[in-house]
Each structure stands twice: as structure tokens, then as C-alpha cells.
Structure 1
């Protein structure tokens, strides 16, 4: 029986229509994922005012959203390793879109908070499944770059949510963000169903005799030489049908590496969730800066996020990730400290926001890309989802500090000074990650996918 190496086939492909289609559709998924996750924090004061509640009342909504994101990362994302990346992505987009659209009819802040929590269960699965799909459809030499582009779409979505705060809420109210956040994922459903094939690597590891593998290969490369009796394999070892087990991320020498990754993701995403939820409110309540003015400046800073994500993707194809990523986190800590000390009206403040966005999105993008490199395909979605779930646990806890800071009338300098400690700890963890034996075997010197 002739053997056909699917992994080598994918790595031999030049970038063409199949790869670009997967990238563009998944880019849209990442965009709306970033939009929805960060949108509520940008318009939080307007939502509270719309329901006649004080700003600190939004703490419960942030808590519900983060709990939903954590639950979804642990429960929904791993299902992509059982039922397919594309199938679960379609299901997540459809369910999340419908719930988000329905949220505009909430009558109380409590109702909106509960609906946001339920929507978060499905929203959290979008990014890890999209990244897994991209990483398994892209040749090794361009993999980190393609993932970086998708993550730049995620950052673009976050920036686009600022447009709601800057211009739409005064005309259409806070509901405008939820209309956009619900309709776009529904539009992604037919694009995924009709334009994006299921991951070849996923199908090969699940069932090497699946006839759809040959069909997808011929669509990708009509000149591929296939008979009717190939045994499809991944790499040098013969592939056998395997069902991903949830505990695989801890087996075969991966336990220590997984523990460090989870801790790093927990702290990194706790930092992101806290600032995404409360930063506009911090500046409004502690520095007297209206949310509309802060949103406009933050949209400019989005450029830094895109550059940071693309830069780290390009560099990770050339430099050892566990050396590069800590540099971004140290820069992030410096940027957070400077935000509290540079006057908002000063031109230098925009530079500081650019640095903050550059390092924050670049650093988290580097962590996500690293995860796709050090775990094999059959557990990749689980690894991304569970790492994201660990991060969401941090995201559940960290927004509580924002509510406390507002209620206790902390100064902006003290508040951001405390937050700046977190990225330094993450930098140390990622550096230690490079010392684990499994990470050294799977991600030597430069990113190899």
C-alpha cells in the first residue's frame, strides 16, 4: 500500500488560493472575535448609564463574560479535536451570533450580563479553532506569519470596537455594538461551510482511510498523483486513527511545559482582560478623560497592535520564541507604567499607547503562535483552547480589581503600577519555558511549526 505524507504535501505547497481562502475567512472570524470580546469594555460607561446604573455595576457583566469565556475555552474548543475544526467553528459562530443579536433586547443589566456570559461560552472557541485551522493548512515556512496575520485581524477587531464608543453610541446607543457583533459571525457561517475545507491533518490523524482526504488534496493540487489505495500519513511515522484525549497535553513529557504555558496565559490574559474592561473607565474616573476622547486615541494605538502582531510572527520564523516573547512582555510593563505618568493631552501619550498596544498584542500573539508549534495536530485545538481557558480564569478574577480600584478611589499611578507587575512575571515564565525538555525538542532555535 503506497504511503502519502500529508504533512510533506502541505509543506510543499506554494501560497495560493486554497491557503488564502482559509486565511481570509479565519481572519474575519478572528476580527469579530476581537471586536466582541473588547467591545463591552470600550462602551461600559454607556451601558451602565443606559440601564441607570453606576460604572462599578458593570463588574458583574465583566465577571459573567469572563466566566463564559473560560467555560467555552475548556469545553467547546477541545470539541474541535473530536468533531473537526470547521464544523465546530460553524456551530460556535452561529450560536454566538444569535445570542449576541438577542442581547439588544435585554431589559436589565442583569439580563444582559447573563446573556453575555452564555455568549462567551461560544465566543471563546473562535480564536483557538481558527488558529488551529490556519496552522494546519499553511506550509511550515509561512505558518507563523499566517497566524500573525490572523491575530492582527483579532487586534483590528478590538480597534474597530472603539469606533462604536467614539461615534456610534451617541447616535444609536450601546446596542449598536451588539448588532455588529452578532450579525458578522452569522455571515461567517456560510463562508466556512462552502469555502473552507476541513483540516487535512485532522482528518489524517482521525481516519487515514477517509476518502475526503484525497478529494481535498486534489482540490488543492490537481496535479497530485494519487491512486485509490494510499495510506495517508503525517510525517515519517505511519498515521493511525487517534481520538484526541483531553489529558494528552500532559502526557509524553508535556506536563511541565503545559503548566508553564497555562500560568503564562493566565497572567497575560488577566492583564489583557483587566485593561480591556476598565482602562477607559480608569481614565474617565481617575483622570477625567471622557470615554469618547479616549476611544479615538485608542483607535490610533491600534496601529501598534497590528505591527506588534505581524512583527512577532515574522521574527518567530527566525528567532527562538522563548527568547523573543519575554522582550515583548518587559516592554509591555514599561508601557503600562508610562501611561500613568504621561499626561493624556501630551503628544507623547499617543506614542506610549502605541507601545502598549504593540507589546501587548505582540506578546499574546507570540504565546498563541508558540502553542501551535509545540503541540501536535491531534491535540492542537485542545491545547489552544485549554491554554485560553487558563487565561480566562485570570480574566475572571482580574476585572474585580478594576471595580475595587474605582470603588476605593485609587489613583491612576497606583492602579497601573500594580498592573505593570504582571507582564514581568510572564516574561520570567516564558523564559523558563525554553528550559523544558519538550519545548526544546519541538521548538528549537527558530519557529518550525
Structure 2
């Protein structure tokens, strides 16, 4: 009996090793994503590369456009080379791209570096989520994925400290050199991270997949035939999203996701700069980034439980309303202690509100169309991620920086309205379970 109990315990430890490696990869992903916003106030103050607010907004959009490309191509590339190799390649790509930024002698070269970094960043997150879904201990898939998502915000916290400690005394390049160091982590991933079970099954390497599943004490994914059938039916699943009256529902989800990611990436890019425009010192503005991402970690851990109790559509609509209120309040100069509380609460609601859109789409979709519905909702939302940083730059360039928080708050209100109407119109039965909970998070961010 003792030996039968020892294997699952060992398997769980091995599974958590996989989760830990993916968590570190996503941590570096978050660091690289948020570092631009953290150093942006310094770049604007010193007029590096002749940078102006509108050009700064364009640069912010380059990274999110690269993320769009990376996210849309990650699945195809992973199906060819494997999820493990793709994760290693993504870490290497965004690390080396940060080196391009650090060495840049012109705005064009810097923009190229951010675009390349975005491709790596966009490809890593969904691949890492897929990986931990394969290796999460039995019955803990949704919790493990939620834990993984906290790494992205931990990276945002790290980016603020990197900027706070290095930029002023050493120079802005030092922050991007720090973002090159994850390249040292790529060989660690290559050596210790096993291949995705889903990929092995899809390639017909069933015995290898079964051996890994037994070793890590996890369940084997769907069979090869079922995976092929799902791939063949993707087009039909997309068409199903527009059949009958479903097109209205689908467009409402897409619009809600557009506003949500506009808000997420607009605030992530411009929060320190907008807070400086409100009269706060640079050090305080970077502290707000830390507090904001701490709120994001708490929000990711709380949102799922709230959705289980009150329903994902209700939580998403309420979260967006509270986010809009918090973002709008940031345009008002308040005592520091009050502002910190508002920034924290805004981080709690903002970062998980978008995730609840994916949860709503997952729950309200037919099981056969679920992956397509969530994937396309995320994809359409990423156009908002490109638009958000650009919008903030245009407002600042026109000397309407005080309208920045108001514009982002309106985006939150629009998402509240769209997801609320979509939830009211939906008449489909809500299905729950670990698979849907995991799928709804695959497209997050």
C-alpha cells in the first residue's frame, strides 16, 4: 500500500515542477510586457529618440500587434514543432528582442524590437496554459491555470522595481538588458520541461504520451482520432457562431472583448505616465504599477470563485462597472493613501473582468463550438489591445491627458453593456466542468 501511494505523490511533485517552469516563463513574459510602460515616463521626459506621446502610443501598439500575430500563429506552429519547442523559442525571441531595444539607436529599431518581443509574448502564454492543462494534478486544472495567470502580474510588479532601481541611476537601456536575462532560462526549459501530452497524442506518439502521463500521475488527453476530428470541424464551428440569431450574440461578445483588452493594455501601457500627468512623482507612479498588479493577482484568484457562485456573466458585467468607476477616479487627484486603494481595487477588477468574458463565452457556447468561440473572442479583442496604447498616446499628444482615464473608463462601461446584453439574450444552457474552465482561460490576455 505504501508503494501505491508513493507514485501519485511523486507524480504530483513532478507535475508541479512542470507548472513551476511554466510559471517562471510567464513571469518573464509579464516582465517584458510591462517594462515598456514602466520606463515610458523616463523616455518621454528625456525625449529619447525624439519620442513624443503619439509616437509612444504607436510603440506600445507595436508590441500588442506582435502579440496578436504570435497568438494567432502559436497554435499552428505548436502543431508542427511541439509546444515545448515553441515555449523555448518564444522565451528566446522576446529575450533577444529586448536586446534589440537596449541596443537601438533609432525609434525604428526600437519599434522593431518591441514588435518581435510581442510575437514571442503572444505565443508563449496560450502555449504555457495548454502545457499546464496537460500536467495539472487531477481535479486541480482550473486552480493551477488561475495560479499560472498570477505570474503575468508578478512580472508587472518586477518591471516596476526594475525601472525604479535602474533607470534613473544607470539608464533606460539597463531595464531592457534585464529583460534579456530570461534567455538563460531557455536551456532550462529545453532540458527539464516534458513535451505536451496533447501534442504527442495528436502526432500518434501514444505510448510516449501514456508513459509520461503515468510518470506525472495525470490523465491522458483525447485520442488522436478525436483531435483530428476537432481540427477538421473548425470551419463549421466558426460558421455555427453566425447561424440563425447567433451572429448578434457573437458580435456582442467580440465587442465586449475589444473594449476589455483596450482597457487592459491601455492602462498597462500608460498608467505610470498618466499618474505623473496627475502630479505624482515618478517613484510614486511606479509604485502604482506594483499595487495595480498586486490587485491583478488577487483578482485572478477571486474572480473564478465569484463566478462559480454568482455566474460568470453577472460577475463580468459588475467587474467592468467597478473597473470603469476605479479608472475614472484615477483622473481625480486624491490623497496618496486613497489613491493606492483605488489603484489596488482597479487592478483587482480590471484584470479579471476580461477573463470573465472568456468564461461567459465558454459557458454559453455549445460544447463542440466552445474552443472556436473563445479563441475568436480573444482574437477580436486583441485588436482592442492594439488600439488602447495608441489611443492613450493620441490623447496625450493632443494635450488631453486628463481625458485618458475617462476614455479607458468609457471602454469599461461599453464592455459592461455588451456582455450584459449578450448574457440577457443568451438562452443556452450553462455547462460547467473542468474542461470548460480550463478552455476559457487559454485565450486570457
CA shift at 1:129, angstroms?
A: 1.2
1:291 is matched with which residue? Answer: 282
Does 1:157 find its partner at 2:147? no
1:307 aligns with 2:298: yes
Equivalent in the alignment of 1:4: none
- Indicate conservation of the 8 Å contact 2:38/2:272, yes or no: yes
Match of 1:198? Answer: 195
Kindly tell me: are residues 315 and 264 of structure 1, through their superposed partners in 2, closer, same or farther at Cα, counting changes over 3 Å?
A: same
Question: Which of 234, 238, 244 matches 2:231?
Answer: 244
> SS of 2:180's equivalent?
helix
Give the conservation status (yes or no) of the 8 Å contact 2:11–2:216.
no
Deviation at 1:407, TM superposition (A): 2.3
1:378 to 1:97, Cα distance in 2 relative to 1, 3 A: farther
Match 2:40 to one of 35, 44, 53: 44
Contact 2:52 2:397 in 1 (8 A): no
Is this contact kept in 2: 1:260–1:433, CA < 8 A? Answer: yes
CA distance in 1, matches of 2:17, 2:427: 33
Residue 89 and residue 406 in structure 1: after superposition, are their counterparts in 2 closer, same or farther (change >3 A)?
same
Write the distance in 2 (CA, Å) between the matches of 1:209 and 1:321: 37
When residues 435 and 145 of structure 1 are mapped into structure 2, their CA distance, relative to the original with a 3 A threshold, is farther
**TM-fit CA distance, 1:13:** 9.6
Alignment of 1:197-346 (within 5 A): 197-204=194-201, 206-208=202-204, 210-221=206-217, 234=222, 239=226, 241-242=228-229, 244=231, 247-248=234-235, 250-251=237-238, 253-255=240-242, 256=246, 259-285=251-277, 287-316=278-307, 318-343=309-334, 345-346=335-336
- RMSD value over aligned CA atoms? 3.5
Q: For the structure 1 residues 433 and 234, does the alpha-carbon distance in structure 2 shift closer, same or farther, using more than 3 Å as the test?
A: farther
1:397-438 superposed Cα distances (whole Å, 9 cap, x missing partner):
2223222221222262x3322321211222233345546879
TM-aligned CA deviation for residue 297 of structure 1: 3.3
2:4 corresponds to: none
Provide Cα deviations, 1:272-308, integer angstroms capped at 9, x if missing partner: 22112222222323x2323222112332333222111
Cα shift at 1:353:
0.5
> Is this contact kept in 2: 1:207–1:241, CA < 8 A?
no
Separation in structure 1 between the aligned mates of residue 252 and residue 324 of structure 2, nearest angstrom: 20
Q: Is the 8 A contact 1:207 1:240 kept in 2?
A: no
- Alignment partner of 2:50: what SS? coil
Q: Is the 8 A contact 2:61 2:388 kept in 1?
A: no
Indicate whether 1:423 and 2:383 are aligned. no
Whether the aligned pair in 2 keeps the contact of 1:249 and 1:383 (CA below 8 Å) is: no
**1: CA distance between counterparts of 2:382 and 2:339?**
29
Distance 1:52 1:121 in 2: 23
Pairwise CA distance, 1:120: 1.3
Of 309-318 and 352-361, deviating more is 309-318
Give the deviation of 1:99 after TM superposition: 2.0
SS for the counterpart of 1:146 is: helix
CA distance in 2, matches of 1:371, 1:78: 23
TM-score by length of 2: 0.82
The partner residue of 1:91 within 89, 92, 107 is: 89
C-alpha spacing 1:302/1:67, structure 2 compared with 1 (3 Å): closer
Unmatched runs of 5 consecutive residues or more in structure 2: 1-7, 439-445
Shift of 1:150: 1.1
Tell me the alpha carbon deviations over residues 161-215 of structure 1, each in whole angstroms, 9 at most, x when there is no partner.
Answer: 111232210122111221222221x2332333233323323433x2456321122
Q: 1:166 to 1:408 in 2, by over 3 A?
A: same
Q: Identify if the C-alpha distance between structure 1 residues 164 and 418 changes in structure 2 by more than 3 Å, giving closer, same or farther.
A: same
Matching residue within 358, 377, 382 for 2:348: 358
Larger relative CO (CA 8 A, sep 6+): 1 or 2? 1
- Give the match's secondary structure for 2:179: helix
**Alpha-carbon distance between aligned partners in 2 of 1:444 and 1:201, rounded to the nearest angstrom:** 19
Shift of 1:216: 0.9
Structure 1 residues without counterparts, runs of 5 or longer: 1-11, 225-231
- Specify the alignment match of 2:123 in structure 1: 125
TM-superposed deviation, 1:358? 0.7
- Structure 2 residue 52 is the aligned partner of structure 1 residue 64: no
> What CA distance in whole angstroms lies between the structure 2 residues aligned with 1:250 and 1:161?
40
Bigger helix fraction: 2
Q: Bigger shift: 356-365 or 78-87?
A: 78-87
Correspondent of 1:108 among 96, 106, 109: 106
Q: Which residue of 1 aligns with 2:50?
A: 53
* Shift in alpha-carbon separation, 1:187–1:363, aligned structure 2, 3 A: farther
Q: How many matched pairs?
A: 423
Answer yes or no: is the 8 Å Cα contact 1:316–1:447 preserved in 2: no
Could you say if the C-alpha distance between residues 51 and 409 of structure 1 is closer, same or farther in structure 2, counting changes exceeding 3 Å? Answer: closer
Per the TM alignment, residue 264 of structure 1 is displaced from its structure 2 partner at its CA by 2.8
How far off its partner does 1:321 sit? 2.1
